[in-house]
């Protein structure tokens, strides 16, 4: 069973998006520089061709980034919802949210929350319209199941 720490959810790694944005920025800067070189020397067709190549690569990267944008937004919203739940559980039970772990990265019915200090487990149950939830302490019996913690602790 895999549990995700509060810190992991708070600082989820979106490096792929940042790498794509960096590549896109480099491509656009390179296209601008090559375009200026072409503008100075219009007889050198190689600069015009390089400008077109960099602009097409930039458009391709923009397409990839746009396609990935909605998925990233959804993932961040889900992580923020789970962080809010962990914060509320921590306040109600006088526990630091940093000591809490959850078995999912999205807020869902029957979500399990684990207190890493006391090994106490909680179950989160949502109402029908997902506007509120109930937290109940449970006694979880793990048989032949290893608990894997992602994000430390």
pLDDT tens digits, 3-55: 888 888 887 766 777 787 888 888 888 888 888 888 888 777 888 888 889 88
Confidence grade of residue 106 (pLDDT, cut at 50, 70, 90)? confident
Question: Hey, where are the domains in the chain?
Answer: 7-74, 79-150
Other CB atoms closer than 10 Å to residue 13's CB: what's the count? Answer: 9
Confidence grade of residue 144 (pLDDT, cut at 50, 70, 90)? confident
Mean of pLDDT values over 80-90: 87
Predicted pLDDT of residue 14: 66
- Residue 151: pLDDT above 70? yes
- Residue 84: pLDDT above 80? yes
- Residue 91: pLDDT above 60? yes
From 101, 98, 125, select the one nearest 113 (Cα to Cα).
Answer: 101
Mean of pLDDT values over 102-125: 86
Rounded (10°) CA dihedral 11, 17, 19, 25: -130
């Amino acid at each position: 069973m895999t549990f995700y720490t509060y810190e992991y959810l708070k600082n989820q790694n979106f490096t792929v998006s940042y790498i794509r944005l960096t590549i896109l920025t480099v491509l656009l800067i390179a296209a601008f520089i090559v375009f200026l070189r072409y503008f100075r020397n219009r007889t050198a067709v190689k600069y015009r061709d390089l400008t077109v190549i960099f602009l097409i690569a930039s458009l391709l990267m923009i397409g990839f980034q746009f396609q990935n944008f909605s998925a990233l937004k959804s993932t961040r919203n889900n992580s923020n919802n789970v962080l809010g739940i962990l914060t509320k559980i921590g306040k109600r039970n006088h526990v630091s949210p940093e000591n809490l772990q959850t078995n999912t990265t999205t807020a869902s019915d029957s979500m399990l929350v684990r207190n890493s200090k006391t090994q106490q487990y909680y179950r989160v149950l949502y109402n029908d319209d997902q506007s509120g939830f109930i937290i109940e302490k449970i006694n979880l019996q793990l048989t032949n199941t290893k608990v894997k913690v992602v994000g430390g602790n």
